Structure 1
Amino acid sequence: MTQRTASCSCGQLRALVTSEPVRVSVCHCLACQRRTGSVFGAQARFPKAAVAISGNVTQFVRVGDEGTHVTFGFCPHCGATVYYTMFGLEEFVAIPVGAFADPSFPAPSFSVYEERMHSWVQVPGEVTHIA
């Protein structure tokens, strides 16, 4: 059985996952750029039943580009996002790939909001590209 732990920067908020991700993607939307402080966000989606959250959490709800609600769970101490859930996809939990701090984590298979992708970014490998 696969088991991985994602955590915030200070380590008090954690997400233990007991399955492989059902989807790994990178998102180039402006909200992900702002949330991560980078040029895209990388996230892995897991079945909700395979994710156990522990620690203190603060939540922030953001309305996405298409009007959907996304609820981010982040550490109230260090501010790092450890997971989020999406309206309409309640059976899944998304976790930023960087929260695993695992260079062997599976590569993304989707790249979304590419119309907002920085011109110098190239997503390698076999990836489904969605404008």
Structure 2
Amino acid sequence: MRQPLRPVIPLQIAATRDDYGDMTGVSRSAQCACGQVQLDCSGEPAKVSVCHCLECQRRTGSVFGVAVFFARSQVRISGETRVYSRGSDGGFSVTHHFCPECGTTAFWYPSRKPKMVAIGLGCFANPKFQPPHQQVYEHHRHAWVTLTL
């Protein structure tokens, strides 16, 4: 039997500026599609990265993934998750945490960056979020994808 959907919790973004430039006192909230997994992030991310690797394509069901990297100490996580670990194109393991209700991969821990947590950019649901700093695994980029960073 399918369980009823939980209400979606509104996202909250607080900052001293409206654009995606340098901001002080920033806090951002991210969540899975059903709102059961919540991530509260303080401060600026260390990096925003587009990944064209085949594993990110499979994880997202799209042609690339976008990860927002924060220090683990900057992120408070609540809600139940399930875990899936896999190797990466670079040979390091990645541990994904996804919502058992809606299936959203909300965040992951790349063993290559043990002090960081990566959060899916789409979980912030904020079109004004700062753009990516870099692209990686471009040799797997679909020929029709063009990104200007």
Tell me whether the two structures share a fold, i.e. TM-score over 0.5: yes
In structure 1, runs of 5+ residues without a counterpart are 126-131
Paired residue for 2:68?
A: 44
Q: How much does 1:66 deviate?
A: 2.3
Paired residue for 1:6?
A: 30
Give the share of equivalent positions with the same residue, in percent.
45
Determine the C-alpha separation between the residues in 1 that align with 2:136 and 2:52: 6
Q: How much does 1:75 deviate?
A: 0.2
Larger Rg: 2
Determine the C-alpha separation between the residues in 1 that align with 2:59 and 2:137: 15
Q: How much does 1:123 deviate?
A: 1.2
CA-to-aligned-CA distance 1:10-47 (integer Å, 9 cap, x gap): 00001110011110010000110010011000111001
Confirm whether residue 56 of structure 1 aligns to residue 61 of structure 2: no
CA RMSD of aligned residues (A): 0.8
Paired residue for 1:67?
A: 91
Q: Which runs of 4+ in 1 moved over 2 A?
A: none
Confirm whether residue 27 of structure 1 aligns to residue 39 of structure 2: no
Paired residue for 2:42?
A: 18
Confirm whether residue 114 of structure 1 aligns to residue 133 of structure 2: no
Determine the C-alpha separation between the residues in 2 that align with 1:66 and 1:17: 27
Q: TM-score, normalised by structure 2?
A: 0.82
CA-to-aligned-CA distance 1:58-115 (integer Å, 9 cap, x gap): 1110111122110001101100011101113111110010000000100001000000
What secondary structure, in the 3-state scheme, does the structure 1 residue paired with 2:57 have?
Answer: helix
Q: TM-score, normalised by structure 1?
A: 0.93
Which structure is richer in relative contact order (CA contacts within 8 A, separation 6 or more)? 1
In structure 2, runs of 5+ residues without a counterpart are 1-24
What secondary structure, in the 3-state scheme, does the structure 2 residue paired with 1:32 have?
Answer: helix
